[in-house]
């Protein structure tokens, strides 16, 4: 058993914590001693309406269990208000868990601007606003942990979720970039792609499996990623049902043409198998590593 993970001196913001997976995160952080801002607008899965009771109920649960929490009923698109609540009540912000989310599933040919825009706004703009507001405080104190909530629908794609998949993989792009910028100030940034039986997945997952995919099974990973013990950054983890795995990019070693001699579409077609061959594939961790084979090709054909 490793050292206990505690948050007595830490303030944690969990967005969309009035239900589902976010509620489980908030309860577990509080059990680990964190002071928690339980944020939730309290709308529907489709992003309609608002109701303060969602966040209030979770705050009451935490307090009844002896923990410390306050509610924030703002939308994540007003992220600065959520962070302000952390500062007003607890004087700091150490961990941001961007979890709030909605669905507007539609096939692309039926997609309307409103469905596209709202999904972008809640997931991407919302996560940006909350994180952007917390960022200067994390920089100043030389400590921060940020967790974004991605999805396998973004990583692998899913029928009828082009808006959602776009937003969810966008959050992974944000993760990778903020991890680079945050490192020197000890701000570590990771993403999770969870699976949990919540109102969002009810009716989509067979009932027996739904029951077993308890939202609580996602939270230990998030609490670890939010902790001082965690030194991981830029990671993407699939998590659910008691299982956790790490995702990384894999790219074929590719096929190099002579850039001076020129090549055409037929040459691409003729070498398609080699271009797509994953034998001995590369796993670039950053831009420099990603460019290695391309640069080697230039060198190979240099005069
Ligand atoms: P949920 O619907 O139970 O929880 C989402 C919460 O976010 C709700 O309480 C909702 O009121 C809140 N919320 C929505 N818009 C908000 C806004 N503008 N401001 C503040 N709060 C807002 O859904 P669930 O399943 O717990 O989802 C949590 C996160 O996990 C979401 O980001 C979702 O996209 C993601 N996710 C969930 C999966 C699953 O299997 N349940 C799969 C992949 C990703």
pLDDT digits (tens, 9 = 90+) for 161-203: 999 999 999 999 999 999 999 999 999 999 999 999 999 999 9
Ligand 1 atom 12 nearest Cα: 16
Per CATH, which fold does 11-247 belong to?
Answer: Rossmann fold (3.40.50)
Considering 128, 143, 164, 172, which one is annotated as catalytic? 164
Among 292, 28, 289, which residue's Cα sits nearest to residue 176?
Answer: 289
Residue 79 has pLDDT above 70, yes or no: yes
Among 111, 129, 124, which residue's Cα sits nearest to residue 169?
Answer: 124
Among 17, 59, 69, which residue's Cα sits nearest to residue 40?
Answer: 17
On average, the pLDDT of the chain sits at: 97
| Ligand 1 binding pocket includes 201 (Cβ within 6 Å) | yes
- Index of the ligand 1 atom closest to the CA of residue 150: 44
| Ligand 1 binding pocket includes 98 (Cβ within 6 Å) | no
ipTM for the predicted complex: 0.99
- In the CATH scheme, what is the code of domain 248-303? 1.10.287.4290
For range 13-42, the mean pLDDT:
98
Residue boundaries of the structural domains of the chain? 11-247, 248-303
- Index of the ligand 1 atom closest to the CA of residue 45: 2
**What's the distance, Cα to Cα, between the start and end of the chain in Å?**
59
Whole-structure pTM value? 0.97
Residue 1 has pLDDT above 70, yes or no: no
| Ligand 1 binding pocket includes 20 (Cβ within 6 Å) | yes
Written as six digits, the tokens of 302 are: 């240099």
For 192, phi then psi, to 5°, come to -120, 150
Is 164 one of the annotated active-site residues of the chain? yes
- Index of the ligand 1 atom closest to the CA of residue 121: 18
Ligand 1 atom 18 nearest Cα: 75
Length of the chain: 303
For range 77-91, the mean pLDDT:
98
Partners of residue 38 on adjacent β-strands: 14, 71
The rounded percent of the chain whose pLDDT value lies above 70 is 99
For residues 96 and 76, give the distance between their C-alpha atoms in angstroms, rounded to a whole number. 12
Ligand 1 atom 17 nearest Cα: 75
């Amino acid at each position: 058993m490793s050292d206990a993970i505690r948050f007595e001196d830490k303030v944690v913001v969990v967005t969309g914590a009035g239900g589902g997976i976010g509620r489980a995160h908030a309860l577990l952080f509080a059990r680990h001693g964190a002071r928690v801002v339980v944020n939730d607008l309290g709308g529907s899965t489709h992003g309609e309406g608002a109701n303060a009771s969602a966040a209030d109920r979770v705050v009451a649960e935490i307090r009844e269990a002896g923990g410390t929490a306050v509610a924030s009923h703002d939308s994540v698109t007003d992220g600065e208000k959520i962070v302000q609540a952390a500062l007003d009540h607890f004087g700091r912000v150490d961990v941001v868990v961007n979890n709030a989310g909605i669905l507007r599933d539609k096939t692309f040919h039926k997609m309307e601007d409103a469905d596209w825009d709202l999904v972008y706004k809640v997931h991407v703009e919302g996560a940006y606003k909350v994180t952007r507001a917390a960022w200067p405080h994390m920089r100043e104190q030389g400590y921060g942990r940020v967790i974004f909530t991605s999805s396998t629908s973004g990583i692998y794609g899913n029928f009828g979720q082009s808006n959602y998949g776009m937003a969810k993989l966008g959050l992974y792009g944000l993760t990778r970039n903020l991890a680079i910028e945050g490192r020197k100030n000890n701000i570590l940034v990771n993403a999770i792609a969870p699976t949990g039986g919540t109102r969002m997945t009810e009716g989509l997952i067979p009932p027996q499996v739904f029951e077993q995919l308890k939202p609580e099974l996602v939270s230990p990973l998030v609490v670890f990623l939010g902790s001082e013990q965690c030194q991981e950054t830029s990671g993407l983890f699939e998590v659910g049902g008691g299982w956790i795995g790490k995702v990384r990019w894999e790219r074929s070693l590719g096929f190099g043409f002579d850039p001076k001699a020129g090549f055409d579409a037929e040459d691409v077609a003729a070498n398609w198998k080699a271009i797509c061959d994953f034998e001995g594939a590369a796993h670039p961790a950053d831009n420099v590593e990603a460019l290695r084979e391309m640069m080697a090709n230039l060198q190979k054909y240099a005069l």
